Structures are given as structure tokens and as C-alpha cells.
Amino acid sequence: MTAETLWWTWCFAGISQFLLAVIFRAVAARIGWLIFGTATTAMVHSTTAAPSQPVAAGVTVLWWVALSLPALRRSWRKRRIIADAPGLFPR
């Protein structure tokens, strides 16, 4: 497997997890998105030259957090729970 193939596989995995998290609100995609961001930051940190590792990791985290806002947002629909409790309210 070439480095270019790995790069495009990584890009496809990130884009697909992002889109699944944004469009379908899939829990597995959200968890995958969190793992993807952590792994990406670790890779950036490990491959950057020693003096600028914290800066490169920080910039990566800032971009990832900005992209995570739509991916991890809550649903605005209010959920209603209707419970039938016939013994609580006597007539």
C-alpha cells in the first residue's frame, strides 16, 4: 500500500464520518469522529519537528473543534415522554 493510498483512505474515512455525524446524527459516526480527531492530532504532533510540535497540534485541534461544532451538535427537537400512570390520579 502506498503512502498516497493511505492518505486518500484517511481523508475518505474522515469525510464520511463527518457527513454521517452531521446528516444522520449517527452515534457511531460521532464516536468515530472523536477518535479520528484524536488520531489526526497525534499524527500531526509526532511528524512535526520537535520545536513546533505543540503549535502544530494546537492548530490541528482548533480546526478539528471548528469542524466538530456541526458534527456534534444536539438535536433541537424536544423529546416528550408520556407515561400512563392510572393509580396516581384517582377520580
Listed by start position, the domains of the chain span 9-70
In the prediction, which pLDDT does 81 show?
Answer: 73
Which range of 24-28, 57-61, 68-72, 79-83 scores highest in mean pLDDT? It is 57-61
Residue 90 pLDDT > 80, yes or no? Answer: no
23 vs 88 pLDDT, higher one: 23
Average pLDDT of the residues in 68-91: 74
Does residue 65 register a pLDDT over 90? yes
Q: DSSP per residue over 22-73, as a string?
A: III--HHHHHHHHHHHHHHHHHHHHHS-GGGHHHHHHHHHHHHHHHHHHHSP
The percent of residues above 90 in pLDDT, for the chain, comes to 74
Averaged over 8-37, what is the pLDDT?
A: 94
Which pLDDT band holds residue 76 (cuts at 50, 70, 90)? low
